[in-house]
Structure 1
Amino acid sequence: MPFTPFHMGPGLLWKGLQPAGLSLITFGLAQVLIDLEPLYVLKTGKDFLGVPGHLHGISHTILGATVIGVLAGAFGRPLTHLGLWILGQSSFIPVPWRVIWWSAFFGTYSHLVLDAVMHRDVEPFVPFSRSNPLVGLIDVGTLHWFCITTALVGTVMYLSLHLWRQYNSRNVVP
């Protein structure tokens, strides 16, 4: 299903482990961009290449994920800065380009791997091969629990660190 929140789990875990090392806005943008094709297929019945009923087409290949990663990276920095400004977190601006690019490509490639494990119509190696050696590697229920667990653990880690930093900044003895 397009725009599933399950895909945010690995990004939230990384954010919990390395708060300054991931832009969740750019990571999330990559998740949405890669699923525009399945949304288009659901609306029109054909993928971007005109193949009928093929839900996960070119966007769910290594080549497609790379192109989408470039788009997410290019638009991710201004959107991240806008998001931080709206949230009142302008002290974190500018977000380094290396963080933006990591977030964009981590977003597209993790999405591709998760969908390749779950969906039979994902062909990650097109145009070189139509095979998908990842499909069924683990069952869908385990995959969902992995995504939920990484999201919860990452969120708890991030919030705990944030609260600890706030507590310590208030209790500094001059």
Structure 2
Amino acid sequence: MPVTPFHLGPAVVLKAACPRAFSLGAFAVVQAAIDVETVGRVLAGVTPLHGPLHTLAGAVLVALAAVAPSRYGLTAAYAALARRLRGDGRGERWLRAELGPVSWTAAAVGALIGGVSHVLLDALIHADVWPLAPWRQGNALWVPGAFAWTHGACAALGVAGLLAWVGRGRGSRTPSA
């Protein structure tokens, strides 16, 4: 499934654990950018569905290209959203704190982890992902039948990470990236 939200599960755990050093937004930007290739291939009827962006080399290039746009674009988008959040609700205060500026470090870490994790997760469930191409053909990481348990684990991590992230935010006013 192109542009799956399941990849975000492990990232939410990282956001809860390292809020200032990891940009969930940059992670998501890279995840979506990599899957634009797959969507295009599906629409064009091209096989295999996963091409050069679904390699570690391709994913790192996408991540590096996304760092600056993610940092500046997300900082501007978060500032605009934070201005719209008015009120004294505790949840809104926490969300406004979370919508602080995105640092270079957080954007780079989020983008790189987003690219690498995308390829590794897809390699588990799609035989046509060749993570080490162009240096090595094939996919030694593919596990037949891994689709269900991989998505289940990602969903469980997402729920746990969200609970930890929101729980952490209730006791802190320190903005994250």
TM-score scaled by structure 2? Answer: 0.84
Residues 72-119 of structure 1: CA distance to partner in whole angstroms, max 9, x if unpaired?
A: 212110122022202214896442211110000000100100000000
Q: Shift of residue 144 of structure 1?
A: 1.0
* Structure 1 match to 2:6: 6
* 2:76 aligned with 1:82: yes
Residues 46-92 of structure 1: CA distance to partner in whole angstroms, max 9, x if unpaired?
A: 3xxxxxx1100101011110111112212110122022202214896
Q: Shift of residue 131 of structure 1?
A: 2.0
Query: Structure 1: 5+ residue runs without aligned partners?
Result: 47-52, 167-174
Query: Structure 2: 5+ residue runs without aligned partners?
Result: 83-95
* Structure 2 match to 1:50: none
Asked which structure has the greater RCO (Cα within 8 Å, sep 6+), the reply is 2
Question: Given residue 147 of structure 2, which amino acid in structure 1 is its aligned partner?
Answer: V
Question: Given residue 18 of structure 2, which amino acid in structure 1 is its aligned partner?
Answer: Q
* Structure 1 match to 2:58: 64
Question: Following superposition of structure 1 onto structure 2, how do residues 1-174 of structure 1 map, counting pairs within 5 Å?
Answer: 1-46=1-46, 53-88=47-82, 89=96, 93-136=100-143, 139-165=146-172
Q: Does the 8 Å contact 1:25/1:76 carry over to 2?
A: yes
Number of residue equivalences: 160
1:12/1:129 CA distance change after superposition, 3 Å: same
| Greater CA drift, 138-147 or 5-14 | 138-147
* Structure 1 match to 2:87: none
| Greater CA drift, 149-158 or 74-83 | 74-83
User: Structure 1: how far apart are the matches of 2:32 and 2:105?
Assistant: 21
Residues 110-163 of structure 1: CA distance to partner in whole angstroms, max 9, x if unpaired?
A: 010000000000011111111211100872222111100111111000101112
Please tell me the root mean square deviation across aligned C-alpha atoms, in Å: 1.8
